[in-house]
């Protein structure tokens, strides 16, 4: 269902032009849907005067987006950006498929806690009220995200037996770190011989977070093993069990460091998701010969060389059948981070810092979102990317009557040109060099007028005047605290949830973790 007002015609790129992107893109995906190594977001120069503010800003929106994506499914991939208005900060939420009301309710609770911290300068991570607030937020985040943590737990349960068998072959006998790991797995992944349930995930998350040193032996063994993948995968999955504890801490750190902005007031709003649209393929022309004809001059030597190389990789008649079966009925959506980017292009809103136009996301950007953002003239901050290519993707929708429609459409035309050239170049290179599929990253874990924006009520103006007990009662009087124990070893305490002093409020660097690629959007 479209969100455009009745009679509001879209500004659309022609299907023929869009096919120039999607046709070679489908061939490229068949050759390998991972288009390169992971890309990290650009570093902030440490000698820059605003280093801590920028790092806190980016960390806050990434962590909030991750906390809102409470299910490990493509629909729940979430993006967050902060808009600075004279009277308040607006927190924009978008998801691949509309932000649910339950997510809005959860995010409102998080922002109530953030505003309480912002308006109570005595609350620091090294003070009692700061620690109580961190525990309250962590409990809310872990309980809300139990479905996602449980999905990781199930993956751990499938991955662990193979690793335990390898660790029990006698080669590692006498290694105390291996013995500690095996004991941890037997002690914490079940209760009374039975598999854990969603209700157990908050406790498991905290235990996993504070047991990170125990998991390090997996990484060490992987570096020495001829078959490192099982050890690497289990190491990353165990780390993800406790990742929400780290994200909760980052939200609190951001609230403390950015309190002068957040104390003015905060409002939560959401950008509705795009409707699903069919991919622009023509059933009559969607085959290898047709695609190559549109990529090259008719009967050119380059075309013949391309087809000859293609036939050495795969039987083209079989490829035609597979393409038609896989993509002709496929549908596209606008990914969450592009929904937010286009909202700012439409409204001309100011970011919290217009020199750091950063959009947080619950996962790294896909291949196409990454290149869209990099090619956009708006100078948005380049995101991290897992470089996975998804066909279930499209440019943001634009309607004729929207603000800045002509400028946005012109920008899209140039970006589309750049994407077409990029995809064709990579396809030619893959065919010419016979490049095989890259190994996938472990599943670390994917327009409208102002009437399409669903405004949420602003947070209570007197949040700062509440006592901590009143704040807790507002969040949920029945919420069971998750007890955050002391870390299991002194070496992990530097990055534990208790480790920050009241004087050190910049985002911690010891808790660096990779963002998930949960919810990669597939057809």
Task: State yes or no: pLDDT of 447 exceeds 80.
Answer: no
The predicted structure's pLDDT at residue 475:
76
- Are 150 and 168 found together in one domain? yes
Rounded Cα gap, residues 133 and 110, in angstroms: 11
Q: What is the pLDDT of residue 304?
A: 87
Same-domain pairing of 185 and 144: yes
Q: Are 222 and 163 in contact (CB under 8 A)?
A: no
Q: How far is CA 95 from CA 68, 73, 77, 363, 439, in A?
A: 9, 11, 5, 11, 28
**316 and 464 inside one domain:** no
For residue 311, the model assigns a pLDDT of 83
Can you read off the two tokens belonging to residue 130?
């700061």
Q: Is residue 510 part of a domain?
A: yes
What pLDDT is stored for residue 308 in this prediction?
Answer: 86
Q: Are residues 106 and 173 in the same domain?
A: yes
- What is the structure's pLDDT at 477? 66
Q: What's the confidence (pLDDT) of residue 6? A: 53
SS3 201: helix
User: Do 297 and 266 belong to one domain?
Assistant: no
> What integer pLDDT is reported at residue 372 of this predicted model?
99
Q: Which residue has the higher pLDDT, 315 or 112?
A: 112
pLDDT digits (tens, 9 = 90+) for 113-124: 999 999 999 999
Tell me: the pLDDT tens digits for 270-284? 999 999 999 999 888
Which residue from 138, 158, 232, 241 is spatially nearest to 441, judged by alpha carbons? 232
Q: Are residues 218 and 235 in the same domain?
A: yes
Q: Are residues 237 and 341 in the same domain?
A: yes
Strand partners, 186: none
Q: In the chain, what's the furthest Cα-to-Cα distance?
A: 77
Question: What pLDDT band is residue 335 in, cutting at 50, 70 and 90?
Answer: very high
**Whole-number percent of the chain with pLDDT over 70:** 82
Residue 442 in this model has a pLDDT that exceeds 70: no
Listed residue (261, 166, 262) closest to 217, CA to CA: 166
Tell me the two tokens of residue 202. 């908050």
* List of residues 6+ apart from 287 with CB closer than 8 A: 320, 323, 324
Q: Average pLDDT, stretch 46-72? A: 93
Alpha carbon distance 243, 100 (integer Å): 23
Per-residue model confidence (pLDDT) at position 7: 55
> Is residue 149 located within the same domain as residue 294?
no
Query: pLDDT by residue (tens digit) across 181-232?
Result: 999 999 999 999 899 999 999 999 999 999 999 999 999 999 999 999 999 9
Q: How far apart are CA 67 and CA 110, in angstroms?
A: 10
**Residue 497: what pLDDT?**
38
3-state SS of 288-312? Answer: HHHHHHHHCCCCCHHHHHHHHHHHH
Could you tell me the CA-to-CA distances from 319 to 94, 311, 330 in Å, in that order?
Answer: 36, 10, 17
For residues 215 and 357, membership in a common domain is answered with yes
More confident residue, 507 or 339: 339
* Predicted local distance difference test score (pLDDT) of residue 461: 53
Listed residue (267, 384, 387, 268) closest to 337, CA to CA: 384
Q: Are residues 122 and 222 in the same domain?
A: yes
Could you tell me if residue 506 is inside a domain? yes
User: How confident is the model over 126-162, as pLDDT tens digits?
Assistant: 999 999 999 999 999 999 999 999 999 999 999 999 9
Residues 77-95 have a mean pLDDT of 98
Give the integer Cα–Cα distance in Å for 302 and 309: 11
What is the model's pLDDT at position 523?
26
User: Which residue, among 475, 478, 519, 482, has the nearest Cα to 105 in the 3D structure?
Assistant: 475
Q: Is 179 within a domain? A: yes
Do residues 359 and 482 both lie within one domain?
A: yes
In a domain, 501, yes or no: yes
Any idea how long the chain is? 523
Would you state the pLDDT for residue 503?
35
- Whether the predicted pLDDT of 177 surpasses 80: yes
Reported as a single tens digit per residue, the pLDDT across 19-34 is 999 999 999 998 888 9
Alpha-carbon gap, residue 245 to 141, rounded angstroms: 8
- Return the pLDDT at 49: 73
Indicate the number of domains in the chain. Answer: 2
Q: Is there a domain that residue 432 lies in?
A: no
Q: What is the pTM of this model?
A: 0.85
User: What proportion of the chain, given as a percentage, has pLDDT over 90?
Assistant: 65
What's the chain's average pLDDT? 86
Return the CA Rg of the chain: 25
- Residues 134 and 351: their CA atoms lie apart, in Å, by 26
Q: What is the mean pLDDT of residues 433-446?
A: 49
Residue 518 clears pLDDT 50, i.e. is over it: no
* pLDDT (mean) for 41-45: 84
The domain in which residue 508 lies consists of: 70-276+333-366+381-393+446-523
Does 186 fall in a domain? yes
Among 269, 249, 246, smallest CA distance to 257 is for 249
Q: Is the pLDDT of residue 246 over 50?
A: yes
Q: Collect all residues with Cβ–Cβ distance below 8 Å to 290 and sequence separation of at least 6.
A: 23
Distance of CA 47 to the CA centre of its chain: 28
Is 191 a domain residue?
yes
pLDDT of residue 283: 86
pLDDT for 184: 98
pLDDT at 520: 36
Has residue 350 been placed in a domain?
Answer: yes
pLDDT band at 492 (very low <50, low <70, confident <90, very high): very low
Does 317 lie in the same domain as 257? no
- The set of residues, in sequence order, having a beta carbon less than 8 Å from that of 497 and lying 6+ positions away, is 134, 138, 209, 245, 248, 249, 484
When comparing pLDDT for 448 and 2, which is higher?
2
> What region does 473 belong to: left with phi over 0, alpha with psi -120 to 50, or beta?
alpha
Give the residue with greater pLDDT, 224 vs 431: 224
pLDDT reported for residue 448: 32
What is the mean pLDDT of the segment spanning 406-433? 94
């Amino acid at each position: 269902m479209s969100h455009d007002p009745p009679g509001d015609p879209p500004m659309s790129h022609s299907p023929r032009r869009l096919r120039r992107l999607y046709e070679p893109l489908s061939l490229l995906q068949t050759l390998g849907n991972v288009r390169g190594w992971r890309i990290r977001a650009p570093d902030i120069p440490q000698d820059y005067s605003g280093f801590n503010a920028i790092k806190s800003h980016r960390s806050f929106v990434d962590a909030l987006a991750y906390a809102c994506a409470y299910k490990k499914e493509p629909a729940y991939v979430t993006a967050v950006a902060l808009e600075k208005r004279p009277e308040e900060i607006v927190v924009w939420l978008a998801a691949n498929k509309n932000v649910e009301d339950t997510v809005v309710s959860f995010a409102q609770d998080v922002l109530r806690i953030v505003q309480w911290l912002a308006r109570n300068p005595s609350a620091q991570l090294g003070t009692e009220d700061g620690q109580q607030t961190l525990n309250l937020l962590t409990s809310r985040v872990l309980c809300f995200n139990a479905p996602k943590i449980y999905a990781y737990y199930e993956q751990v349960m499938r991955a662990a037996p193979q690793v335990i068998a390898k660790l029990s072959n006698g080669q590692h006998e006498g290694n105390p770190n291996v013995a500690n790991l095996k004991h941890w797995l037997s002690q914490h992944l079940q209760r009374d011989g039975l598999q854990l349930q969603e209700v157990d995930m908050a406790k498991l998350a905290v235990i996993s977070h504070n047991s990170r040193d125990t998991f390090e032996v997996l990484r060490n063994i992987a570096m020495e093993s001829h078959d490192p993948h099982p050890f690497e995968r289990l190491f990353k999955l165990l780390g993800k069990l406790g990742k929400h504890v780290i994200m909760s801490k980052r939200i609190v750190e951001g609230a403390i460091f950015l309190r002068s902005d957040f104390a003015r007031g905060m409002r939560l709003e959401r950008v509705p998701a795009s409707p699903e649209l069919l991919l622009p393929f023509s059933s009559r022309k969607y085959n290898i010969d047709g695609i190559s004809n549109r990529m090259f001059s008719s009967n050119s030597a380059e075309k013949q060389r391309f087809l000859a190389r293609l036939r050495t990789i795969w039987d083209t008649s079989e490829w035609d059948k597979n393409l038609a079966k896989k993509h002709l009925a496929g549908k596209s959506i606008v990914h969450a981070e592009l929904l937010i980017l286009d909202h700012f292009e439409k409204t001309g809103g100011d970011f919290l810092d217009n020199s750091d136009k950063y959009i947080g996301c619950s996962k790294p950007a896909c291949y196409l979102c990454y290149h869209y953002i990099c090619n956009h003239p708006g100078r948005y901050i380049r995101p991290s990317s897992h470089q996975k290519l998804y066909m279930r993707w499209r440019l943001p929708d634009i309607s004729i009557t929207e603000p800045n429609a002509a400028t946005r459409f012109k920008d899209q035309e140039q970006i589309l040109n750049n994407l077409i050239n990029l995809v064709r170049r990579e396809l030619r290179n893959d065919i010419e060099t016979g490049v095989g599929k890259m190994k996938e990253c472990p599943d670390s874990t994917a327009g409208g007028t102002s009437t399409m924006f669903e405004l949420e009520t602003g947070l209570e103006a007197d949040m700062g005047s509440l006592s901590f007990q009143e704040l807790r009662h507002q969040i949920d009087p029945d919420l069971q605290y998750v007890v955050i124990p002391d870390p299991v070893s002194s070496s992990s305490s530097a990055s534990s949830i208790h480790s920050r002093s009241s004087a050190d409020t910049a985002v911690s660097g010891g808790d660096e973790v990779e963002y998930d690629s949960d919810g990669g959007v597939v057809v």
